[in-house]
Amino acid sequence: MNNSFKVGNSAEIRFIKYLKDGFNIDAVKTSKNDDIIKHQDYKLINFFPEITKKSDFFVDIKSLKKIQRNDLSYQDEYTWIELKNVNGDDGWVKSKYLDGIVIETFKHWVVLDRLTLENYVESVLDDDFVYNPNDAHYKKYSRNGRLDISTLVDTKTIIDYCGILIFSKTNFFILDKSQLLF
């Protein structure tokens, strides 16, 4: 099991435990096939339907990331957005099977509306391709010889545009966007 998989899996487990412990929300892990093809990590049952307008809410959970794999520390100033996956198929931001994307920051769990995020990224994305992750801000980044395409976007900006729910990691509070701490 590679390290990025372990970190991602840990974030999934921690977020689901947070929802259960703090809000008594049940979650069902999706099948391996749904995870790979539909980008669904979990189905959240009765997940704030007054806000989400759905009884079942499908999410992909994203852990803290580094800009470059060999960076020493994780960061939350920017968020990686997957446009195409390693097979060259649509990445998670374009998955019609997802309702939300959960991103982890150092102090919060943030639920983003997937469709609003897709539209936002399409509106600001530069068509230029870059091959250095440090140059990937609002540009299409690909690794040489790979089919995946990603971009880096400003985390605070996507929370402002696409944020549905913001949870404090230190307690069981739902925050307003004005209460966001970075």
pLDDT in tens, 70-127: 999 999 999 999 999 999 999 999 999 999 999 999 999 999 999 999 999 999 999 9
Tell me the per-residue pLDDT of 143-168, one tens digit each, with 9 for 90 and over. Answer: 988 999 999 999 999 999 999 999 99
Rounded Cα distance, 92 and 102, in Å: 12
- Percent of the chain at pLDDT above 70? 95
The pLDDT, as a whole number, for residue 138 is: 98
Measured in degrees and rounded to the nearest 5, phi and psi for residue 18 equal -60, -45
Q: Which position has the higher pLDDT, 179 or 140?
A: 140
- Mean of pLDDT values over 14-32: 97
Instruction: Work out the mean pLDDT of the chain and round it to a whole number.
Output: 94
**Pair 58, 40: CB distance under 8 Å:** yes
Which residues, at least 6 apart from 107, have a Cβ–Cβ distance to it below 8 Å?
A: 168, 169, 170, 181, 182
The pLDDT of residue 2 is 59
Q: What is the pTM of this model?
A: 0.93
Q: pLDDT value at position 144? A: 86
Q: Is the pLDDT of residue 180 over 90?
A: no
DSSP class per residue in 12-23: HHHHHHHHHHHH
**Inter-CA distances, 92 with 47, 73, 182, Å:** 20, 24, 25
